[in-house]
Amino acid sequence: MSLQGVLPITLTPFTDSGDVDSGGIEALTERYLDSGVDGLVALGIMGEAHKLTDAERSAVAGRYVAATDGKAPVVVGCSAPATRVAVERAREAEGLGAAAVMVAPPNNLKNLGLVFEHYREVAESVSVPVVVQDEPVNTGVVMPAAFISRVMNEVQNCRYVKLEEAPTTIKISALTNGIESADKRAGIFGGLGGMYFYEELGRGAIGIMTGFAYPEILVRVYYLYSKGREMEAREHFFRYLPLIRFEAQLGVGGVGIRKEVFKMRRVIASSHVRSPAPPLDAETLRELEDLVEYLGLTEGDTG
């Protein structure tokens, strides 16, 4: 199953006491699918994968695959500080029914030769495609476009790349020029919370992997753009860009804002974020509610 379009980075919902909320996963999956998304990405950074135990990781990924019930592909994040651990996670994800696995470089690994071997070993250990996750802010690993192109060109099973290094637009252009296979050039996803989604599509991205709390907005942008209605896509995107920008306050707690929105939409019961995490202050919550109301989204209307 090929990947394209809008694939949200799914949340890991918790109860107020911090336990994984399995019912919340069911509710989120239903809302994501009802929004018209083209797939899901479980255990991403904004899914708080790094704050889950190994048993919880397996349970969360398995629950998302089961809840999706074959209606859309599920990509599972399998990043790890050691290649052997990433291999085991990738094999487990494939066994759970993942359509692809997403792998970032091991944190702070500056030797790109070792990063290349990491991707090669993981890719050769599974039969499902690997999504190369370019996430320098969180991993501390800068992968230039030329290096990512080499991974895509030389490692057969690395078929997709998800970009998070700003500006994503310039890197997309560099990758479309550097990746030799037309198939793999058509496997570039944007990210960054949706901040540059319209521009990413214009540069050649085939979709986006991000966790914006109104995925139906991104779905509409993608639909309009893919139908050649670019000006309508731009207008729709720019209409809601203020909320995308507001949600992207990572220093304030982007995942916390995202969870607050899904709680406001009555999808999840708790907006709990596992510590360590900065709390959202009352003024930020007021600003969020004001912005949602201003955009006419109180009842979920996305035009």
Q: What is the secondary structure of 205-226 as a DSSP string? A: --EEEE--S-HHHHHHHHHHHH
CA torsion angle 254 37 134 51 (round to 10): 50
In this prediction, residues 185-204 reach a mean pLDDT of 95
Q: Are 34 and 8 in contact (CB under 8 A)?
A: no
Q: What is the secondary structure of 142-167 as a DSSP string? A: ---HHHHHHHHHH-TTEEEEEE-SSS
Is residue 267 scored above 60 in pLDDT? yes
| Per-residue pLDDT at 145 | 96
**Tokens 């476009």 sit on residue:** 145
Is residue 1 scored above 80 in pLDDT? no
d(CA 104, CA 77): 8
| Per-residue pLDDT at 280 | 87
**Tokens 């944007």 sit on residue:** 190
In this prediction, residues 181-205 reach a mean pLDDT of 94
Residue 27: phi and psi, rounded to 5, are -65, -40
- Would you say 102 is a known binding-site residue? no
| Per-residue pLDDT at 142 | 96
| Per-residue pLDDT at 189 | 97
Q: Which amino acid is at 122?
A: V
Is residue 303 scored above 80 in pLDDT? no
* Interval 275-291: pLDDT, tens: 998 888 999 999 999 99
* Interval 34-77: pLDDT, tens: 999 999 999 999 999 999 999 999 999 999 999 999 999 999 99
Q: What is the secondary structure of 42-102 as a DSSP string? A: ES-GGGTGGGS-HHHHHHHHHHHHHHHTTSS-EEEE---SSHHHHHHHHHHHHHHT-SEEE
> Token digits for 102?
């997403």
Q: What is the mean pLDDT of the chain?
A: 94
Confidence class for position 185, pLDDT limits 50, 70, 90:
confident
Is residue 115 scored above 90 in pLDDT? yes
Give percent of the chain above pLDDT 70: 97
Beta-carbon count within 10 A of 81 CB: 11
Element (H, E) at 279: none
Structural domains of the chain sorted by starting position, each given as residue range(s) with its CATH number in brackets:
5-231 (3.20.20.70)
* Interval 213-238: pLDDT, tens: 999 999 999 999 999 999 999 999 99
pTM of the model: 0.94
| Per-residue pLDDT at 68 | 98
Confidence class for position 253, pLDDT limits 50, 70, 90:
low
* Interval 196-207: pLDDT, tens: 999 999 999 999
Burial category of 147 from C-beta neighbours within 10 Å (exposed 0-12, middle 13-18, buried 19 and up) = middle
DSSP strand pairing (40-42 vs 130-134): unpaired
* Interval 79-103: pLDDT, tens: 999 999 999 999 999 999 999 999 9
| Per-residue pLDDT at 165 | 87
d(CA 252, CA 74): 29
Is residue 252 scored above 80 in pLDDT? no
Closest by alpha carbon to 202, among 165, 246, 169? 169
